[in-house]
Amino acid sequence: MLATHFAREGAKVVVVARTEVEDQRLPGTIYKTAELITSEGGYALPVRCDVTNEQSVVEMVERVLDELGQIDVLVNNAGTAFPGLITETPLKRWELVLRVNLTGAFLCSKAVLPSMVKSKCGSIINITSIDAVTRTSGFTGAAYAASKAALERFTWSLAAEAGKYNISVNALKPKEGIETEGLMVVSQGAGRERWESPENFIKAAIFLASQDATGVTGVVASDEEYCLWHGL
């Protein structure tokens, strides 16, 4: 979703995911997304990467720099969840959620920072969730909520470190679930009456991508809040 809209704004987009194979329940691959972008006249580079593996992340960033020369914006959007109660959550599932949602953002941020520091500008956007600050009971799971809360604290720390290099770091979360194919698969449509269209989320993400440390940085907020505060 974000990749296509960034491309429509003129960005050269790198589409990254762990799998190259289409899920039977969820259509689409990095290659199909890239094909859609190029069919609309945009630029897209599909790259397979496991964000929980440091070597895979380093190789992904090296390839992007070889192709494009620099990285201006990083969106840490990889995510997974394990619905269920804490007593029903296997340790390996707990650890997987934390590795993807939190460690993945750490590894990707760490890998792109040297390029951004060199160019003295950049924007890192961490996608979090309202579950980071609300009580949950089984739907997304405690591991998901904990990982997103930690990602928000990571955002503040990284913003403090990166500001002197003119790099903005912010966290963006939807006020409610965004109506996408992915959410439909995970939730099986439960709570759909509360879902929101992606319009505000997209506008907020594009706005944050345009920021550096002289603008908005170190902010953790919902799409609705960003749109309200900045007249989007």
pLDDT tens across 2-58, in order?
999 999 999 999 999 988 877 766 667 999 999 999 999 999 999 999 999 999 999
pLDDT in tens, 62-79: 999 999 999 999 999 999
Instruction: Report d(CA 68, CA 70) in Å as an integer.
Output: 6
Q: Which burial class, exposed, middle or buried, applies to 81 when counting CB atoms under 10 A from its CB (0-12, 13-18, 19+)?
A: buried
When comparing pLDDT for 42 and 133, which is higher? 42
What is the per-residue pLDDT for 133? 84
DSSP annotation of 99 reads I
Whether the pLDDT of residue 186 is over 90: the answer is: no
Over residues 168-197, mean pLDDT: 67
Quick: pLDDT tens for 141-159.
899 999 999 999 999 999 9
Give the model's pLDDT for residue 140: 81
- For position 20, what pLDDT does the model report? 80
pLDDT at residue 192 above 70?
A: no
CA–CA dist 140, 124 (Å, integer): 25
Considering only residues 198 and 44, tell me which one the structure prediction assigns the higher pLDDT. 44
Is-contact 122 168, C-beta < 8 A? yes
In order of start, what are the domains of the chain with their CATH numbers? Answer: 1-48 (no CATH), 52-230 (3.40.50.720)
pTM score, whole prediction: 0.92
In percent, the amount of the chain with pLDDT more than 70 equals 87
Strand order across the beta sheet in which 220-222 lies: 73-76, 122-127, 167-173, 220-222
Of the candidates 147, 18, 149, the one whose C-alpha atom is nearest the C-alpha of residue 94 is 147
- Residues with a known catalytic role: 144
In the prediction, which pLDDT does 52 show?
98
